[in-house]
Amino acid sequence: MARYRDANCKLCRREGEKLFLKGQRCTTDKCSFERRPFAPGQHGQNFRRKVSAYGLQLREKQKVRRTYGVLEKQFRNYFKSADKKIGITGENLVQSLETRLDNIVYRLGFAGSRKQARQLVRHRHILVNGHIVDIPSYCLRPNELIRIKDRSKKLDLIHDALKSGRGDELPWLRLNKAALEGELLEVPKRADIPLTANEQLIVELYSK
C-alpha cells in the first residue's frame, strides 16, 4: 500500500498553512511551520512564481487530500461518489470525508491527529454500535455510537488527546468523556465543518 514517509511538517509548509498533522506539536513553538513558514526544498524560501488558475485548483485539492490523509485514487473516488449524489458536489465531497471513522475519532478528541486516530482504528481500539470496526474509511451514519473498547480506556494517548476539547465544539457530535463514547448526531452542514478550503476549486479541477 502506498504511504507518505517523509516529514508531515513539509506538507503544511508546501500548502502555506497549518494542516495540524502532528497533533499537539502544531500548537507549540516546535512547529516547523512557525519556524520556517515557506515551501520546503533548497529554493523554497526565495522561489516565487505567479500561480495559474490550475495551480490554485491543484493546491486546494492537495490541501484537502492531505488534511484528511487520503491517497489520490481514494480522493478521486470520493469525488466521483459526491458528483453522483443530489446536492452541491463540493459540499457532498467534504461531508463524505468528514464522516470517515478516523476523522470522527479525531473530531471527538480521542486522538491528537487524524494519523493517530487511524492508528487507533486499525489497532481495533474503536467500537461502532458495539462492534469492532478497523476500517478507517468506514462511513458513519447519523445516530451511530462510537466508543473506546473497555480494554483500551486506560491508554494515555486517548486521555492526553481529550484535553483538546474538540468534541465539545461541534454541534453535530455528542461526546461523553466519562464513558469515552460519542455519537454522530447528523451529517454536518458545510458551515459547521472547521475546514478552511474552497471545495469549488476542486470541483473545477476534476470537471476539466
More confident residue, 18 or 138: 138
Q: 37 and 107: one domain?
A: no
Average pLDDT over residues 188-203: 91
Predicted confidence at residue 39, as pLDDT, reads 59
**Neighbouring-strand partners of residue 182:** 146, 175
Instruction: Find all residues with CB under 8 Å of 62, minimum gap 6, and list them.
Output: 14, 15
Range of the domain at 172: 100-186
Whether 208 is covered by a domain: the verdict is no
Residue 1 has pLDDT above 60, yes or no: no
Q: Are 43 and 108 contained in the same domain?
A: no
For the chain, the domain total comes to: 2
List C-alpha distances in Å: 32 to 14, 19, 65, 141, 169.
12, 12, 20, 36, 27
Mean pLDDT of 169-197: 92
Structural domain includes residue 64: no
Q: Which three cell numbers stand for residue 128?
A: 461502532
122 occurs within a structural domain? yes
Residue 89 lies in a domain: no
CATH number at residue 10: 1.10.1050.10
pLDDT for residue 35? 54
Residue 111 lies in a domain: yes
Residue 200, domain member (yes or no): no
Sheet holding 145-148, edge to edge: 131-132, 126-128, 145-148, 181-184, 173-176
**Which pLDDT value is given to residue 107?**
92
DSSP element (H, E) containing 15: helix 8-15
CATH number for position 135: 3.10.290.10
Residue 132 included in any domain: yes
The stretch 42-48 carries a mean pLDDT of: 54
If we measure between CA atoms, which residue out of 90, 18, 10 comes closest to residue 98?
A: 90
201 in any annotated domain: no
Q: How far is CA 182 from the centre of its chain?
A: 17
User: Band of the pLDDT at 141, cuts 50, 70, 90?
Assistant: very high
Question: Are residues 104 and 182 part of one domain?
Answer: yes
